[in-house]
Chains A and B, each alone.
Chain A
Amino acid sequence: MSRNTTKTNYKHLWKSGLPALLVLILIFVLSGPVAFGGTGAIQHQEQAAVLQQLQLFQGSTQGFDLDKVFTRAQGSVMLLRLLGWEDEALKAGVKTNFSDVQASHWAASSIAYANSKGLVKGVSGTRFAPNETMNGAQFITLSLRALGYTAAEPGKALEWCGISGLLADGEAAELIGQKVFLRDDMVAIAYKALSTKMYNSDKTLLQKLVEEDGSVSKAAALASGLYKEQPAAAVSNDPMDQIEAALRQALKP
C-alpha cells in the first residue's frame, strides 16, 4: 500500500464521519445509566454528606474516602450509630478480648461493645480482623439488625432485603455480588436504611433515632429531607395510655 493511498483512506474515514461516531460512543459511555453500586465509581457523595450531617458518618482529613474499601472495624462503628448506641458504647467501657484489637485501636470500644451484645463476631475465638474488608452481604445484615431484624444472616441477605424492603432485589444482588465493597456502597445502604421501616413498626429507622433514641437531632433530621415532623398525636383519654406515655416520656434521654 502506498503512502498516498493511506492518506486517501484516512481522508475517506474522516469524511465518512468516524470521529463523530467515536464522540457519540464516548458520550454514551460517560452518560450511561448510573448503577446502584458496583461500578467502582463514587456515586453517593451527596448521601455521604447527609449521613455526616446526621452525625452518622465521619470522613477523614482526606474527605469521605468513598473510594476506599469498607472494613470490619468501620462496620462495627456504623452498626452502633445506626442503632443509636455509639455513646452508650463509649460510656460502657467494655474491654475487647480480641488479640488483634488493641485498647488503643480507634474502634476498640465499639467492637467490644457490639461483640458483647452479640451483634458482631470475630473471625475466630481470638481474632476480629478489624482491618479486613466487609462485604455487601455482611453490611446489609448489620443494617437489617439495626432495623430490628435480629435473626438476619449474611447467607440470606437477599431474602431479608425483600422482606424488610431495605433494598430492591436488583440493588441487593448487585451489592452482594461485588468483589470489592467500598465505603461508597456502605453509604448507599445506610442512607436507604434510614428511610426503611423498622421491624413490626410504622416508624422508619431515622424516626426511631430521632424520637426514641434521641441520638440524631430533630433539626438535622428535618434538614436532611428524610424526616418529617409528625403532627402531635391527639392526647388519648385512656388513662392507661396516659400512664404509658408518662413512663415513656420519663425514660427519654
Chain B
Amino acid sequence: MKWHYRLPMIAALLLYGLFCLTPVSAEEKSPADASGKLTYEFNEIHVLYAAEFLAYPETAALKKETVTDSVYSSSEPLHVLYGVVSLGAGGDRKEEFIRVGEGSEFTRALSVGGSWDNYATGGEYRVMSTEFATGKTLEGTSVVKDYSAGWKTIKLTRTLDYAGQMKGLALSFKWDLAGSADSFFAKLASTSYTVDMDSLKQVGQQEVGP
C-alpha cells in the first residue's frame, strides 16, 4: 500500500483508538445540547436529612395600616423545606434540595456548590454553606442545568456544633436579573430574612463536615 493511502487509514485508526480509550463520564452519556443542558441518570430517592423551618423578613416590623394590608402585604414568613437525598439504586448520587414558599408562591432549586469552615468561632462550630440554583432542576430521569432564566441562587448557611447539633441557620437570595420577570424571586432577592430557630423541625443527621 502506498503512503498516500496508508496515512488517512492510520489517522482514522488513531482517532478510533482515542475514542475507545477515553473514559465516558456520566454527564457525557448525554452531553450538553445546544442550550447548554447537561443530563445524567438516576432512578431512586433516599432521604438522608430533612428539615423545615420559617424565615421572617427583617422588615416585618413595618406598620400595617389596615387588615387588608396585613393579610395581603408580605410580612408572612417563608416556609423553607431543605433536604439531602441520594438518588439512584446505589445511592451514590447525592443532591441537596431546597423549596422556599410563601403562600401559594414558591421556588425550588438543587445545590450547585458549597463551602465549609471548620474553624468558625475558634473551632467551636462548623459552618456549612450551600448554594442552590433554580436553574438546576430535574426532568424525567435527568438533572438539567438551564440558566437561561437568569442566575437565581439561594444560599443556606448552617452552623453546627461538633456534636452535629444545629445552632444557627441563615438564608439569602441573589438574582442577576437576567431572564424574564419573576416578581416572587425579585422580592426574595431584595429582602433580608431571619430564620426562626424555634420553628426548626428536622430528621436525620446533617453531615458535620469532611
* Chain A residues proximal to chain B, CB less than 8 Å: 116-117, 149-152, 156, 159-160, 163, 199-200, 237-240, 242-244, 246-251
**What CA separation (Å) do A156 and B139 show in the bound complex?**
47
Q: A156 contacts B203, CB within 8 Å? A: no
CB pair A250 B203 closer than 8 Å: yes
Give the contact-size bracket for chain B: 20 to 34
* Number of A-B residue pairs at CB separation under 8 A: 71
Which B residues have a C-beta under 8 Å from some C-beta of A? 45, 47, 50-52, 64, 67-68, 70-71, 75-76, 81-83, 85, 95, 97, 99, 103-104, 108, 137-141, 198, 201-204
* B45 and A163 form a contact (CB under 8 A): no
A151 touches B45 (CB 8 A): no
A103–B201 Cα distance when bound, in Å, is: 27
B195 to chain A minimum Cβ distance, whole angstroms, is 15
A117: nearest residue on chain B (CB-CB)? B198
Known: A244-B97, A246-B83. 16 other contacts (CB 8 A): A151-B71, A163-B68, A163-B71, A199-B76, A199-B103, A200-B103, A239-B45, A239-B139, A243-B97, A243-B138, A244-B99, A246-B85, A247-B50, A247-B82, A250-B204, A251-B50
User: Quick check: A244 and B64 within 8 Å, CB to CB?
Assistant: no
Q: Taking CB as reference atom, which chain A residue is nearest B99?
A: A244
Q: Which of B67, B68, B81, B198 contacts A247 (CB 8 A)?
A: B81
Chain A, interface SS category: helix
The complex places the Cα of A239 from the Cα of B64 at a distance, in Å, of: 40
Nearest CB on A from B23, distance (A): 27
A149 adjacent to B71 (CB under 8 Å): yes
B84 to A, closest residue via Cβ? A247
Give CA–CA (A156, B65) in the complex, Å: 11
Task: Tell me whether B85 and A251 are in contact (CB under 8 A).
Answer: no
Closest chain B residue, CB of each to CB of A243: B97
Complex Cα–Cα for A173 and B51 (A):
42
Complex: A205 Cα to B139 Cα, angstroms: 34
Contacts of A149 in B (CB 8 A): 71
Closest 5 pairs between A and B when the two form their complex, measured CB to CB: A200-B103, A151-B70, A239-B138, A247-B83, A250-B47
Contact of B83 with A243 in the complex, beta carbons under 8 Å: yes
- Find chain B residues with CB under 8 A from A160 CB: 67
